[in-house]
Amino acid sequence: MNQVMERVEKRATIQDIARMTGVSVATVSGAFSGKRRMSAQTREAVLTKARELGFEPNPHAQRLRNGGCANTIGLLSSMDLGVASMTQSEICHRLDERGFQIDDHVLPLYVQQVDKRQTAVLRQMCRQNPQAILFSSTGLEPHAYDVLKQYVDGGGILVCWTSSRAASKNQPFRADQVLLDTAQESYLQAKYLIQLGHRNLGFFAHGDQVLSSNRYEGFERALAEANLALCPEWVWGKTGYEDAGIEHAARFMALRERPTGVCIVNDNAAAAFVHTVMRAGLRVPDDVSVIGCDDTAAARGAFVPLTTMCRPVKELSHTVVQILCDRLDGTLQGPPITREVKSQLVIRSSTSAPKSV
């Protein structure tokens, strides 16, 4: 009983297997890798004992003993319910098609001690010595960049995808970049509503730091070009997706004077907003026009299909992986490069000219 409890509390090691089978640690390692000569009986004895103890070799440790892995790519993921996960999934497919192994690590966001947590994740990733690291710079804290800089200084390859503002703000190391201008997305959202004849526009963002975001910058620029006043009561933010859209709708319905058109940063929130205001008796787009962002299934399959900004997920993912491959095979050499992809406006049923026009 005590031996069973001991085994539960402490995982078996390669040293345990060597001791119990009477062979060297190198022989145990060779039994798993197949790179060491030994009798079939010895190999089977080692593997049998490993199965009894529930031992599995650590692929990361094997990689480090071999000086790293020439076919493993570190992927730093920031999990969400929208386009970020779609992008990372697409990148994983492209890497898989080219035969790469993917070492995926989740980037902590919106947590306590976020800088410390992110640094720990990145250090763990770098210790596993991937051939390259792919990541989105959105949400990365300053000390996380320090870890990536050390990785590059040690000869690692970095390729990131990011917004234009994040790219200009965070350039502490050498990294190839694929840029998506999110300020331009919001600019085109607002500009289209203005072209339809709307003069009273609202902006409902994903996140709490609305006024300092590059998306708000694009919205503000479109209004300034059209000489339209910006009403502070019609600008707010909320972290989340469907829940955020419901809250946006509640705040919208409580306004004494409402905008006739609203730009909402993600499609899930926009679809929930539309559903909620329609249940309250408003008509979309007759009473309020709504533009979303990302062109997810929530936009295409909504009860009122959403006009939205279509993010080029496939093009972005292909570009990231192609830059990676060009770096690895030597086709691309020299200083970091920057490529840009552009979102496109997709017009559907959630927008129209305001009733007064």
Q: Give the pLDDT of the chain (357 residues) as one tens digit per residue.
A: 444 334 334 567 888 888 999 988 778 877 876 656 778 888 889 888 888 887 766 554 444 444 445 577 888 877 666 788 888 889 999 999 988 888 888 888 777 888 888 899 989 888 888 889 999 877 788 888 888 888 888 888 999 998 765 555 555 467 899 999 999 999 999 999 999 999 999 999 987 778 878 899 999 999 999 999 999 999 999 888 899 999 999 999 999 999 999 999 899 999 999 999 999 999 999 999 999 999 999 999 998 999 999 999 999 999 999 999 999 888 998 899 999 999 999 999 999 999 864
The pLDDT value given to residue 6: 42
Q: What is the dotted CATH code of the domain comprising 2-57? A: 1.10.260.40
Provide CATH 1.10.260.40 ranges for the chain: 2-57
Residue 177 sits at φ, ψ, to 5 deg, of -135, 145
List the end-to-end C-alpha distance of the chain, in Å, as a whole number: 82
CATH of 72-180+313-341, one of 3.20.20.105, 3.30.70.100, 3.40.50.2300, 2.60.40.1180: 3.40.50.2300
For residue 297, give every residue at least 6 positions away whose Cβ sits within 8 Å of its Cβ, in sequence order, or none: none
Partners of 203 in beta bridges: 235, 263
Residues 166, 169, 172, 177, CA torsion sign: positive
Q: Are strands 201-205 and 261-264 parallel, antiparallel or unpaired?
A: parallel
Looking at this protein, which amino acid is placed at residue 304?
A: V
Distance CA 256, CA 332 (A): 58
Are 211 and 237 spatial neighbours (Cβ–Cβ below 8 Å)?
no
- Count how many residues are written for the chain: 357
Task: List the structure tokens of 186.
Answer: 């919001």
Are 123 and 94 spatial neighbours (Cβ–Cβ below 8 Å)?
no
The pLDDT value given to residue 56: 66
Distance CA 306, CA 284 (A): 10
Provide CATH 3.40.50.2300 ranges for the chain: 72-180+313-341, 183-310
The pLDDT value given to residue 82: 73
The pLDDT value given to residue 25: 78
The pLDDT value given to residue 101: 86
CATH of 183-310, one of 3.30.420.480, 2.30.30.90, 2.40.160.10, 3.40.50.2300: 3.40.50.2300
Q: What HEC string does the chain produce? A: CHHHHHHHHCCCCHHHHHHHHCCCHHHHHHHHHCCCCCCHHHHHHHHHHHHHHCCCCCHHHHHHHCCCCCCEEEEEECCCCCHHHHHHHHHHHHHHHCCCEEEEEECCCCCCCHHHHHHHHHHHHHHCCCCEEEEECCCCCHHHHHHHHHHHHCCCEEEEEEEHHHHHHCCCCCCEEEEECHHHHHHHHHHHHHHHCCCCEEEEECCCCCCCCHHHHHHHHHHHHCCCCCCHHHEEECCCCHHHHHHHHHHHHHCCCCCCEEEECCHHHHHHHHHHHHHCCCCCCCCCEEEEEECCHHHHCCCCCCEEEECCHHHHHHHHHHHHHHHHCCCCCCCCCEEEECCEEECCCCCCCCCCC
